[in-house]
Chains A and B, each alone.
Chain A
Amino acid sequence: MTDVPFIEIHDVHFSRGSHEIFRGIDMIIPQGKVTAIMGPSGTGKTTLLKLIGGQLTPDRGRILVDGQDVQRLSRKALFALRKRMGMLFQSGALFSDLDVFENVAFPLRVHTDLPDAMIRDLVLLKLQAVGLRGARHLTPAELSGGMARRVALARAIALDPELILYDEPFVGQDPISMGVLVQLIKRLNEALKLTSVVVSHDIKETLSIADYLYLLADGQVVAEGTPDTLNANQDPRVSQFVHGEPDGPVPFHYPAETLYSDILGATATRAR
C-alpha cells in the first residue's frame, strides 16, 4: 500500500489469563480509507479496538496512532489523543441520564468553550446527518437499537475526529437500518475525509464499504487485501469465512469426545 499509515500495529501479543488472543499481529491502517477487520466471533476484534484506543495494554509489541505510541502516552496525552478519535460501540453506549441532544452535545460541552447557540447548531447538524434531528428530545430508553446506534454515531463525529472506530456496527440491525448505517459510514468517510476502522463479521455489508480488509483467526492475521482479492482467496480458512460455510477449518462442533463414546459410554454406565 502506498497510502499514508494512520495506525500501525507491530507484532502485538495479548492474552487474557491463560487464553492467548493475539499471537503477533501486524497491521497498517491507511489514512482516509475504510479498513475492515473481520473474523469469526471470539477472535478478539473488539479487543483490538480497545488496544488501539489505549484501554488495554498489549503484552508485547507496539501500536502507533498518528505516530504516537498509545501505550507509552501519559493519561493526559492519551485523553488528548482520544479527542481525535470517535468510537461507535456495539450497544451505542449512550448516557442514559441525558437525552439525545445532550448526548451528542456532551463531547462539545466538555472539550470546547463554544457558546450554547453554536453547540445547538452543531448538534442539530450532526443529528441531521444521521437523520434524527426530530428525535432530539427523546431519551435513550425511547430509541430503537438502530436509532441508538445512529445517535451514537452523531456523538462520535461531534468533535470532527480524524479516526472513527466502529465496533460491530451492523449487528442486530433490520435490513433498513443496516442499509442506512452502511451508507452513513461510507458517506461520512468520504465527506469528512475520516480514517475508519470497521470491526465486523457481516461479510456483505463490510465488503461493500471497505477499501482494505484484514481477516483475523487463531490470534493472527490470516489474510489481507482488497475485497476482490479476499473474495478470490483460495485459503480454506478465508473461503470458509467469506462464503459462510458452517464447517471447515473453524469447526462447527465445540471440542468434545465422539458422540458414539459419549452416548454409549453413558448407556453402559447406566446399565451397570
Chain B
Amino acid sequence: MQSKFEQGVVGRIVRLGRKGCDVMEALGRAGLFLGQSVVGVPSREGWYLWLRQMHFVGVLSLAIVIVSGLFIGMVLALQGYTILVDFGAEQALGQMVALSLLRELAPVVAALLFAGRAGSALTAEIGLMKATEQLTSMEMIGVDPLRRVIAPRLWAGFVALPILTVGFSVVGIWGGYLVGVQWLGVFEGSYWSNMQASVSFMNDVGNGMIKSLVFAIVVTWIAVFQGYDLVPTSEGISRATTRTVVYSSLAVLGLDFVLTAVMFGGL
C-alpha cells in the first residue's frame, strides 16, 4: 500500500505529465494547422477575401494604433526632455524618441494593441462560426475552411501588423516633435539631424520591422488557432478570447526580449 504522501506525489507527477502531453499535443495541432492554412496558391477570390480581412484587421485597427502612437511619442519626448535637459543634451531628443520607437515601442505596443483589437475579434468570429456549425457546413459543401476562412485572416494579419507598426513609428516621431520642438523649444534642426545621423536603416528600422513581422505571425497564429480549436459553447468562446490576449501578450513580450538580445545585445 502506498502512503497518502506517496499517492499525492505520484498523483502530482501524473498530472504534470498529462499536462505536458496536452501542451505538446496542442502545439503539434497548432503547427499542423498553420502549415495547412498558409500553403496554397491564392485564387482571384482568395485575393478578395484577403482584402476584406485587411480592412477588418488592418484598416479598422488603424485608429487605435495611430492615437496610441501619437501619445507614446509625446510622452517619450516629455520624459526624455526632463532627463536630457539636466545634462544639456536635449538636442539628442530626436535620436532618443526615434530609436526607442523604432527598436522597441512601435513593434511591441502595436502588437499588443493588435492582439487586443484584432486578435480577440478574430478568435471570437472564428469561434462563433464554429459554434454555429458554419465551418462544418463549409466542409460538407466541399470547401476547406482552412483555405477559405483561416488563410485570408492569417495572411491579412501577417501583412497588416508590420504596416501598422510603421504608422505607429511615424506618428510617434511626429508626436515627439510636437512636444519636444513645438512645445518645449528644442531646436528643430537638431531634432531631425540627430535622428538622421544616428538611426541606421538596416539596424534600427530593419530590425524593428523583423520584430514586427515575427509578432504578426505569432499573434495572428495564436488568435486564429484559439478560435478554430475552442470548445464551441459561449463559455468556450469567452475563454478562448481571453487566452488569445493573454498568450499573445506574453509571447510578444517574451519574444521581444529574445529578439532584442539577438539583435542589439551582441549575442
Contact = CB atoms under 8 A, between A and B. Distances in A.
A93 B137 contact: yes
Interface string A83-99: 10111011101111000
Contact of A82 (B129, B134, B141): B141
A106 interface: yes
Contacts of B242: none
Nearest to B133: A93
Interface string B4-28: 0000000000000000000000000
A92 to B, nearest CB: 8
Given A96-B129, A96-B132, A89 B142 contact: no
B139 interface: yes
B132 A91 contact: yes
Contacts of A86: 140
Contact of A110 (B132, B133, B143): B143
A80 interface: yes
B136 interface: yes
B188 interface: no
Secondary structure type dominating chain A contacts: mixed
A53 B133 CA distance: 14
Interface residues of A, number: 24
A39 to B, nearest CB: 21
Contacts of B134: 93-96
Contact of B136 (A55, A94, A96): A55
Contacts of A80: 142
Interface in A80-138: 80, 82-83, 85-87, 89-91, 93-96, 106-107, 109-111
B205 to A, nearest CB: 37
Given A93-B134, A95-B134, A96-B134, A87 B140 contact: yes
B142 A82 contact: yes
A94 B140 CA distance: 12
Contacts of B143: 79, 106, 110
Contacts of A155: 141
A107 B136 contact: no
- Most chain-A CB neighbours within 10 Å: which of B128, B139, B144? B139
A94 B141 CA distance: 12
Contacts of A152: 137
A90 B132 CA distance: 10
Interface in A210-251: none
B129 A107 contact: no
Contact of A89 (B128, B129, B136, B148): B136
B137 A87 contact: yes
Contacts of A89: 133, 136-137
Select the residue from B132, B133, B141, B144 with max chain A CB neighbours within 10 A: B141
B207 to A, nearest CB: 38
A94 to B, nearest CB: 8
Contacts of B142: 79-80, 82-83, 107, 110-111
Contacts of B132: 91, 93, 96
A85 B45 CA distance: 24
B136 A106 contact: no
Nearest to B148: A110
A114 to B, nearest CB: 14
Determine which residue in A85, A89, A111 has the highest number of CB atoms from chain B within 10 A of its CB, and name it. A89
Interface in B117-134: 128-129, 132-134
Contact of A53 (B129, B140, B144, B148): B140
A76 to B, nearest CB: 10
A260 B73 CA distance: 73
Contacts of A75: 144
A87 B143 CA distance: 13
The 8 A-B residue pairs with the shortest CB-CB distance in the complex, in nearest-first order: A93-B137, A93-B133, A82-B142, A83-B142, A87-B140, A79-B142, A89-B133, A107-B141
14 contacts: A53-B140, A80-B142, A82-B140, A82-B142, A83-B142, A89-B133, A89-B136, A90-B133, A93-B136, A96-B129, A96-B134, A107-B141, A110-B45, A110-B148
